[in-house]
Every structure is written in structure tokens, then in C-alpha cells.
Amino acid sequence: MTTTGMGAPPPTPSPVKTARGEGVLQIALIGNPNTGKSTLFNALTGMRQRVGNYSGVTVERVEGRYRSASGRPVTVLDLPGTYSLSANSPDEEIALGVLLGQTPEVPVPDVVVVVVDAQNLERNLFLASQVIELGLPVVIALNQVDAAEAAGLKIDAVELTLELGVPVVPTVATRRQGLDVLQHAIEKAPELPLPERRFSLPVTVAEALAPVERSLTEYGLAPSAAGMEALRLLASGAEGHLAAVPGLAEQLTTALAELEAADVHTRSLEAELRYGWIAGVVEQTTERRAAGGKTLTDRIDAVALHRVWGPLVFLGLMALVFQSIFTWAEPVMQWVEATMGLLGASVAELMPQGVLRSLLVDGVIAGVGSVIVFLPQIAILFLFLGFLEDTGYMARAAFIMDRFMRGVGLHGRSFIPMLSGYACAVPGVMSARTIENPKDRLATIMVLPLMSCSARIPIYTLLIGTFIPPIAIAGIFDLQGLMLLIMYLLGTVTALVVAAIFKKTLLKGRTRPMIMELPPYRLPSPRGLALGVWSRVKLFLRKAGTIILSLTIVLWALASYPKHPIPDGLAPEAAQELQLAHSALGRMGHLIEPAVRPLGYDWKIGVGIVSSFAAREVFVSTMGTIYGVGATDETSATLREQLRAERNPATGEPVYTPLVAVGLMVFYVYALMCISTVAVVVRETGGGRRGWGWAAFQMTYMFALAYGAAFLVYRGGLALGIGT
């Protein structure tokens, strides 16, 4: 066996007792993000799990089972993706805690499988070298060897086995290659000598760390694990799970002082030693074919990550997405609109006149139907976002955004929760848990609802489709697509500006740089894309069938009662308008009207805004119900046509102008009209009085921003004579 440092000592028995019976083999999977760890987990256990390294995905404990070829049951624990065991983030702490046997609910694994990306051997071996020192049986799954070979890298697995002192099995998890050999190696690993550190420490370092290692061994750590921890603590200090070790902090201070006196850079010592050894291992085991052959990923990234072209490509792609929402969705939307109209007409014809018919036709079909017509837009948006995510482009978008994020003082990691905010703020706020710095986390949560979520799509597309003309701008783009892009950009840019203000005032603090993995580009699977879109469509329909339907029924009742006496001889339109104005909803609306008048809105829009606090789409269904109840004929025009035809009874002027529509959209970009987001912010900012305090602060600042911006747009537009 070849070693690069001190010779391997004789095998020692495992110092840690496992908690299971002899029969079940407990293994843990660990690896850097994007090594295909989750894919390997799925391939081994057959359990379905989302693949990717977005925050929150593998933070939770994920377990699966399989039976080995010899029939032995094996339990697989999928640990969070991590670059090292340095315990700098919650993910790393979880992984380290499990491997050291300090997580009460999880037994110490019998075998640790380190998933190593063959394309990034050097960086991946850092974590592997730490795991090897923990005194547990280890197997290395050298994954994605096919991609490495395509990139001109040939790794000698046998040589690597000799260098690391643990079995190395080449695998391609996506194609289930090498799995049988891996399973065999896992089963046999406990019978092999336990691995040890493969490089030696300089004498000064070894002597300075000896007392620290002794304390850790007395505390219960395996000797090799104590060695790994002692070296790690030089950079991170005795915090977290080792804070309770008696006398450790003092011993560490003495060791640091001795090493500093000997001119050793203690902060970077571990990295220098490990990477120094790793460089030798890689040199020994890897052959590079004719350098200079750039992969397709390299060639695409040369443009996609370019300082100037990168952001432009990003903007261009987003513009294309938003344009397609109008161009592609329109025919399907018209079809859904026509179907809803037909449904309303059929119900009106089949049922006798009465309150139930009015509820179904004017309330449910007009209200819920007006939201359902936006289903094509939602599907197209998520088809595109899913495509960009599955090809690997979204990771590049996060990389591009990281520059801007750091510019405003936010951690690059914040962009990932913010990106999920484009779908819905609630999972975004929850995934902010993975941001270590509490101030960065709070700043991210505070600005996250400014990202335009999918619930705003029906409002934006209703108003843009109705009031913004499709004037061609450049080839395939037109004013409608551009307007939608502007709304999304407005939210994103404002989120960055507000975050910068928070980070300079309320939540001052230093931001650490982010290390990010950029996976190679790949063609997404149509099935995966279809499943992603279907899950979004299902959620949208469920929301329409529950919360929107319930609110529509309540709003219909409020818009229909109490009945007002209609004077004889009044025209049907005027009679309907009179009834609506004197209904409970009408009275409430007139109460709200003075507050929204300065923004150019009438009482109906005011009611729409207030009711949409339940969920933003309710604005559209409220408009559908109000105009449904207010209409004289139950088979009448679509909501878009009704909005265009709406006139101020006093002046005869149109109520909705392009200017009012733009102002209203700006209002919805900024206003926190979502009860679920408020609830999750309360919980994630500490709950109780503290949580409510932050949520109230967020609602207040966002409402002030929304009102102020809508006022400026409307009044500014009036003064300049634009869009009136």
C-alpha cells in the first residue's frame, strides 16, 4: 500500500458502538452538493426524492432502505450536501454531528459512503480526507465518471484506492452503473482495517495539538477523529458541539499561541495541509487528455457567465419567458374564457331563476372562472422556469445575481430563497433558514415578498392584456411582454435596494463570500418538466377550488344583500348598479373609496384590494363577482371586456385607463397582500411578540411603498398626460 505520509498503523477496532442489531447495516451518504448524491441515494433505495442543491432540499433527514445481494437489509441516510466538515453552517453541523455519533436520534453509521464528483476530484477530496479520519469504515463512490471522461479526465480507481486507503468504486448514478460493485464494497467495508489520516503533520503542529487531541479522546472521540477535530478547531475555535469539552478552549488558546509564535498560519493550516496532500494524490491518479479541449458547458459559460454578456443573456431569456406568456397563452386563454362563458350560459339556461342560479353564475363561475382563465400563463411560466432550472442555467443566474447581491451587502445564498419567491414567498421564507448569519437571514425574509410570485400573474396579465396594447418593439417582443418584464424587474431591483438599506441600517453586518457549484448543462427530461408543471397546475386549481371559491361565495353574498328597494321605471342597468352600491359590499367599498381615490381607483377596485389580502388572485375573482352581480344579463361579456367598458357614472369617463392599470400593477408589486406570507414570517422571525413585530414592520413598509409608488405613477402620469 502506498502512503504519502506516515505509514498506516495496524488496524484498530471501531471505537464507537453502533445502536443496531447485527442484521441491519446502517450507512450514511455524504458528499459535496451536485455530486449526484441524491441520485445515488434514489438509485440505491428506489425512493423518489427531488434532485438538486437548492436550500432546504437535503437539510431534512432523509432515509431509505435496500437489501444487499446477500440479502442483508441496509438503511441509507442521506446527509446534507456539504463541502467540508468544518461546521460553519447548519448543514455541515448536522453531517458532522451524525458522523461523530452526537445526534441522539441517529445511530453512528456502520459505513460512510463519500460521493465524490470525478470531474472535481481535487475539491471533493477535501471532504473525503476529513471523513477518512473519523475512524469509521469508508467507501468512496467516484461518481459521474462518464462526464469526467468526456471532459478528458481519466482517473485510476485502483491507484486512488491505494492512495486513500479506502475502497473507491467508479459509478454513474444516473445510469445505475457500478451500483452492484458499490453495494458489495459497502457490505465488506466493516471487515477492512479502519482508515487513518494519510498525511503527516509538521512536528511543531503535532506537538502543539497533542494536548487538544488528548482532551478530545478523553471526551470520547476516536483517536483519529480527535486528530481531525483538533486540526479543524485551529480555524473554527471550540464552539458548537465541542464547547462542553473541559479545558478545551484554554488548550486551544495555548496551541494557537505556540503555533503563531512558530510563524504558522493557523487559520489556513488545515486547508494547506489537506490540499497539499490532495494535489499529490490527484497527480498520481489522474490523467488529463490533451488540454485545451473545451467542453460544451465551458463554451456556453464563456457567454452565460461573462461580466457583460451574462446579465444581458439573463435579461434576454427572462424577456422571452414573459413575452411567451402573452403570445402562447392567448389562444388557450381565449378558449378557457369561451368555455367559462358557455358554462355560465348553460347553467343560466338550465336552472330556474333564483338565488342559487345567481350564486353559481354571477358568483362562482364569474369569480372562480375569471381566475382559472390564467391557468395557461401559470403553466407556461413554470414550464420555462423548470426548463431553465433543469438545464443548469438557474445556477448561473444565481451566480450572476451574486455580484449584485454582494453589492448590496447580502449573502449570495440569499438569492436562492429569493428565486423560489418567484413561485411563492412562503417556501422562500422557509428556505432562508439555511442562511447562517441571522442578520442576512432577516434581511432576506424582509425583502423576499417583493419578488413577484405566481399569484400576481393573474393580476398582471389581466391588466396588461386588457389595457396595454401589443405594440411590436423588437422582432418577437411587444409592449405587453416588456411591461410584464418591467413588473418583475421592479420587484427584484426594489428588493435589492431595500436589502441594501436594511444592511446599512437596521441589520448591519459583514457578508461572507459564497462558494457555488455550477453543474454542467444537460438536456432536461420531458417527463420531469411535465411533472413539475403539473404539480404547479394542480396547486393553482386546488387554490381556486378551495380558498378562492369560498371567498367568492362570501363576496357574492355581500354583493347581493341586503336587497335595496328599486324605484319603478328604472332602467335594468341602473337598477343593478343601485342594488350593488347599496349592498354590504358596496357600502364597505364606499367606506374604503376615499383612501384609494388618490390612486385613481373606484370603490370596486378598493374592495378587490382589501379582499385580495386572503390571496392575491382573489383580486381578479372579486372583480369577476362584482361585475357578474352588476351585469344585467347572465351570459354577458368576459371580465376583460367588462373592465374596458366600465364608465364613471358621474363623468362618463372610463374608470380603467392604462395609467390606472399600471399604477395598480405597481401597487401589487409592492403590497404584502398575502395572509400566508404574514403567518410564515411571524413564525420564521422568532414567533410571539418578536415575530409579530417583524411581520408588522414588513407589512407597514411594503404598504407604504405600494401606496407611495402607485400614487407617484398615477399622479405623475396625469401631470405628464401619459396613458390617460
CB 607 within 8 A of CB 589: yes
Q: How big, in percent rounded to 5, are the helix, strand and coil portions of the chain?
A: 60, 5, 30
Nearer to other proteins, 514 or 549 (CB): 549
Residues 303-332 that bind other proteins (CB under 8 A): none
Least distance to other proteins from the beta carbon of 293, Å?
38
Nearest CA among 169, 109, 110 for reference residue 144: 169
Q: Does 546 bind other proteins (CB under 8 A)?
A: yes
Beta carbon of residue 654, minimum distance to other proteins (angstroms, whole number): 32
Stretch that binds other proteins, among 7-15, 41-49, 174-182, 428-436 (CB under 8 A): 428-436
* Cβ proximity to other proteins, 453 vs 599, nearer residue: 453
CB of 3 to other proteins, least distance (A): 44
Q: Phi, psi (5° rounding) for residue 58?
A: -115, 15
Indicate whether 570 belongs to the interface with other proteins (CB under 8 A).
no
Cα gap 584→564, rounded to integer Å: 11
Give which of 665, 644, 650 is closest to 717, Cα–Cα. Answer: 665
- Least distance between other proteins and beta carbon 687 (Å): 5
Stretch that binds other proteins, among 12-20, 137-145, 447-455, 593-601 (CB under 8 A): 447-455
Q: Which of 8, 305, 516, 557 touches other proteins by CB under 8 A?
A: 557
Torsion of CA 359, 363, 368, 369, to 10 degrees: 100
Determine which residue in the list 256, 325, 426, 468 makes contact with other proteins, applying CB under 8 A.
426
418, 116, 159: which is closest to 286 by C-alpha?
Answer: 159
Contact status: 165 vs other proteins (CB under 8 A): no
Check residue 553 for interaction with other proteins (CB under 8 A): yes
The residue range among 21-29, 164-172, 449-457, 568-576 that interacts with other proteins, by the rule CB under 8 A, is 449-457
Nearer to other proteins, 649 or 688 (CB): 688
Strand order in the sheet with 25-31: 62-67, 73-78, 25-31, 111-117, 138-143, 168-170
**Smaller CB distance to other proteins: residue 343 or 679?**
679
CA dihedral 307, 312, 314, 319 (to 10 degrees): 170
Which string of x and - marks every residue 646-675 that binds other proteins (by CB under 8 A)?
Answer: ----------------------------xx
Does 141 participate in binding other proteins (rule CB under 8 A)? no
Of residues 349-388, those binding other proteins (CB under 8 A): 352, 354-357, 359
- Dihedral pair phi/psi, residue 559, rounded to 5°: -80, -15
Closest approach, Cβ 349 to other proteins, in A, equals 16
C-beta of 59 vs 490, nearer to other proteins: 59
Smaller CB separation from other proteins, 692 or 707: 692
Residues that bind other proteins (rule: CB under 8 A) add up to a total of 46
For the CB of residue 695, give the shortest distance to other proteins in the complex, in Å: 8
Span near other proteins by CB under 8 A; candidates 70-78, 347-355, 460-468, 483-491: 347-355
In the complex, the smallest distance separating the C-beta of residue 552 from other proteins, rounded to whole angstroms, is 8
Residue 634 engages other proteins in binding (rule: CB under 8 A): no
The residue from 75, 420, 625, 698 that contacts other proteins (CB under 8 A) is 420
Q: Does 400 contact other proteins by CB under 8 A?
A: no
Q: Given the complex with other proteins, which of 50 and 175 has the nearer CB atom?
A: 50
Dihedral sign (CA 190, 193, 194, 197): negative
Q: Which residue has the cell 405566481?
A: 454
> What does the alpha-carbon distance between residue 601 and residue 655 come to, in Å, rounded to a whole number?
8
Binding segment toward other proteins, per CB under 8 A, in 192-200, 284-292, 304-312, 551-559: 551-559
Q: Which of 300, 430, 486, 501 binds other proteins (CB under 8 A)?
A: 430
Asked if 554 touches other proteins (CB under 8 A), the answer is yes
**Which of 179, 209, 614, 671 is in the footprint of other proteins by CB under 8 A?**
614
Q: How many CA atoms lie within 13 A of 501 on its CB side?
A: 8
- The reply on whether position 38 binds other proteins by CB under 8 A is no
For residues 211 and 248, give the distance between their C-alpha atoms in angstroms, rounded to a whole number.
9
Does residue 105 bind other proteins (CB under 8 A)? Answer: no
Q: If binding is defined by CB under 8 A, does position 683 make contact with other proteins?
A: yes
Q: Which is nearer to other proteins, 302 or 351 (CB)?
A: 351
Q: Which is nearer to other proteins, 2 or 550 (CB)?
A: 550
Tell me phi and psi for residue 393, to 5 degrees. Answer: -70, -35
Tell me the three cell numbers of residue 63.
432515509
Closer CB to other proteins, residue 431 or residue 698?
431
DSSP result, 63-110? EEEEE-TTS-EEEEEEPPP-S-SS--SHHHHHHHHHHTT--TTSPPPS
Residue pair 63/77 in contact by the 8 Å Cβ criterion = yes
> Which residues, numbered 43-82, are part of the site for other proteins (CB under 8 A)?
50, 54, 56, 60
Residue 528 CA: distances (Å) to CA of 35, 50, 325: 19, 10, 21
Contact pick of 5, 427, 654, 723 for other proteins (by CB under 8 A): 427
- Euclidean distance between CA atoms 724 and 701, whole angstroms: 29
For residue 442, state whether it binds other proteins (rule: CB under 8 A).
Answer: no
Binding to other proteins by residue 676, rule CB under 8 A?
yes
In angstroms, give the least distance from the CB of 642 to other proteins: 24
3-class SS letters over 279-340:
HHHHHHHEEECCCCCCCHHHHHHHHHCCCCHHHHHHHHHHHHHHHHHHHCHHHHHHHHHHHH
Cis peptide, bond prior to residue 562, ω within 30 of zero: yes
446 binds other proteins (CB under 8 A): no
Helix (H) or strand (E) holding 140: strand 138-143
Q: What's the CA gap between 365 and 372, in Å, rounded?
A: 10
**Total residue count of the chain as it appears in this document:** 724
Instruction: For 22, list phi and psi in degrees, rounded to 5.
Output: -65, -30
Q: Measure the CA–CA gap between 403 and 417, rounded to whole angstroms.
A: 16
Orientation angle between helical segments 572-582 and 584-596, nearest 10 degrees: 80
Q: Which of residues 684-723 bind other proteins (CB under 8 A)?
A: 684, 686-688, 691
Q: Is 679 in the site for other proteins (CB under 8 A)?
A: yes
DSSP 595-652: HHGGGT--HHHHHHHHHTTS-TTHHHHHHHHHHHHH-SSTT---HHHHHHH-B-TTT-
Judged by CB under 8 A, does residue 541 bind other proteins? no
Give 94 or 228: the residue with its C-beta nearer to other proteins: 94
615 sits near other proteins (criterion: CB under 8 A): yes
Q: Is 194 left (phi over 0), alpha (psi -120 to 50) or beta?
A: beta
Q: Which stretch binds other proteins (CB under 8 A): 6-14, 96-104, 499-507, 679-687?
A: 679-687
Using CA atoms, how far apart are residues 573 and 578, in angstroms rounded to an integer? 9
Residue ranges in 451-470 that form contacts with other proteins under rule CB under 8 A: 453-455
5 or 427, CB closer to other proteins?
427
- Stretch binding other proteins (CB under 8 A), from 106-114, 136-144, 396-404, 426-434: 426-434
Q: Kindly state the smallest distance separating residue 462's Cβ from other proteins, in Å.
A: 17
Query: Could you list the residues that contact other proteins (CB under 8 A)?
Result: 50, 54, 56, 60, 352, 354-357, 359, 420, 423-424, 426-428, 430-431, 453-455, 535, 539, 543, 546-547, 549-551, 553-554, 557, 614-615, 674-676, 679-680, 682-684, 686-688, 691
